């Protein structure tokens, strides 16, 4: 991989601090297994409490806490509707709807790599062109597919160090089917393995050049036991490969496999969302550019048939 790390290297030896980046902010805000499933169901049209509870097989107390968190963050808003009865709905805000590209990239990854697709729709149809399609991440300027090796990084106006957000939990949830779930969702098996902030945080460091255990630990400001667990998980699922260092075979490093490289669109769409909604007045911590056209990268998710941009109103999905 030839992705170049940021031009200015910031040390992160201060305990509890990491390099400022929009991926970390997005992960802390919205990435856990149940939040991703709630958002995936919302993109399918779910608006009411019972719809989520029955649709994704979630307990009432967990659903209540996640909905409250999404409302507080600004991704959902409450509304009262009258249809003979006064009912409360939760509707996607522009901030919440802007996570749709990430949901599509989860779907794409599962279609390429998942062996358990019971919770996933088989086909996506783009209403604009009427074709069955696969969403693809492209550069808005040159329209070339975005690959990690074709992206260059440099520090942005928001570069610096920031305190690592406290994780809501350091435990990952074991992968298991959702008994009683009724909906076929955009997000499938991958969220069992990657719908965990620490796993995604570790993965994101590889796209910035990290390979050694200590380098990853410093960049993530993560405890060694948590890091060892996540690296073991990623190796077991074929996302990373552990190998001897070429420079010193006594030491080991981790490198992304082809499967791991295909996670880049998920990371990049989360970064774009974080840049827009979480960067604040300081601006984005990183500026990305496309190596093919040399323009500042605006990565957009499009239909692979007609090239049109995708939003929830233009895409339908179903089994079979």
* Average pLDDT score, the chain: 86
Q: Give the count of beta carbons closer than 10 Å to the beta carbon of residue 127.
A: 13
pTM of the predicted protein model:
0.88
Decide if pLDDT at 319 tops 60: yes
User: Which of the four CATH numbers 3.40.50.10480, 1.20.1250.20, 3.40.50.2300, 1.10.10.10 does domain 17-29+94-166+181-318 have?
Assistant: 1.10.10.10
Taking the C-alpha atoms of residue 233 and residue 61, their distance in angstroms, rounded to an integer, is 28
Domains of the chain by residue range: 17-29+94-166+181-318
**Percentage of the chain modeled with pLDDT above 70:** 84
Q: How high is the pLDDT of residue 184?
A: 63
Q: Which residue has the higher pLDDT, 30 or 182?
A: 30
Query: Which residues are CB-neighbours of 12 under 8 A, at least 6 positions away?
Result: 18, 19, 161, 218, 219, 221
Give 140-172 pLDDT, tens digit per residue.
999 999 999 999 999 999 999 888 766 554 455
Give 6-55 pLDDT, tens digit per residue.
444 444 556 677 888 899 899 889 988 899 999 989 998 999 999 999 98
- Are 32 and 194 a contacting pair, CB within 8 Å? no
N residues, the chain: 320
Taking the C-alpha atoms of residue 38 and residue 65, their distance in angstroms, rounded to an integer, is 11
- Are 128 and 254 a contacting pair, CB within 8 Å? no
Take residue 212 and report the two structure tokens written for it. Answer: 């050694």
DSSP state of 239: S
CA nearest to 146, candidates 31, 256, 261:
261
Taking the C-alpha atoms of residue 167 and residue 200, their distance in angstroms, rounded to an integer, is 13
Take residue 249 and report the two structure tokens written for it. Answer: 């075979």
Q: How high is the pLDDT of residue 21?
A: 87
């Amino acid at each position: 991989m030839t992705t170049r790390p940021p031009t200015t290297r910031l040390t992160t030896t201060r305990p509890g601090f990491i390099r400022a980046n929009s991926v970390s902010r997005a992960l802390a805000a919205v990435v856990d297994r149940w939040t991703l499933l709630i958002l995936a169901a919302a993109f399918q049209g779910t608006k009411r409490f019972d719809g989520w509870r029955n649709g994704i097989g979630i307990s009432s107390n967990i659903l209540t806490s996640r909905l409250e968190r999404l409302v507080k963050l600004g991704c959902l808003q409450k509304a009262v509707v009258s249809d003979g009865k006064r009912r409360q709905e939760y509707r996607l805000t522009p901030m919440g709807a802007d996570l749709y590209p990430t949901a599509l990239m989860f779907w794409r990854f599962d279609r390429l790599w998942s062996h358990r697709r019971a919770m996933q729709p088989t086909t996506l149809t783009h209403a604009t062109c009427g074709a069955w399609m696969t969403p693809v991440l492209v550069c808005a300027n040159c329209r070339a597919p975005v690959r990690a090796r074709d992206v260059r990084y440099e520090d942005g106006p928001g570069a610096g160090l920031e305190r690592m957000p406290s994780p809501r939990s350091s435990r990952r949830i074991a992968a298991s089917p959702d008994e009683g779930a009724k909906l076929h969702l955009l997000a499938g098996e991958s969220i069992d393995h990657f719908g965990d902030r620490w796993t995604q945080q570790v993965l994101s460091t590889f796209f910035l050049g990290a390979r050694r255990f200590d380098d990853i630990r410093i960049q993530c400001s993560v405890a060694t036991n948590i890091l060892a667990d996540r690296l073991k998980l990623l190796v077991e699922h074929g996302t990373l490969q552990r190998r001897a260092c070429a420079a010193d075979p006594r030491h080991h490093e981790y490198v992304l496999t082809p499967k791991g490289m295909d996670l880049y669109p998920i990371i990049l769409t989360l970064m774009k969302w974080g840049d827009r909604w979480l960067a604040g007045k300081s601006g984005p911590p990183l500026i990305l550019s496309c190596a093919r056209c040399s323009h500042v990268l605006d990565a957009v998710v499009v239909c692979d048939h007609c090239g049109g941009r995708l939003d929830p109103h233009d895409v339908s999905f179903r089994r079979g």
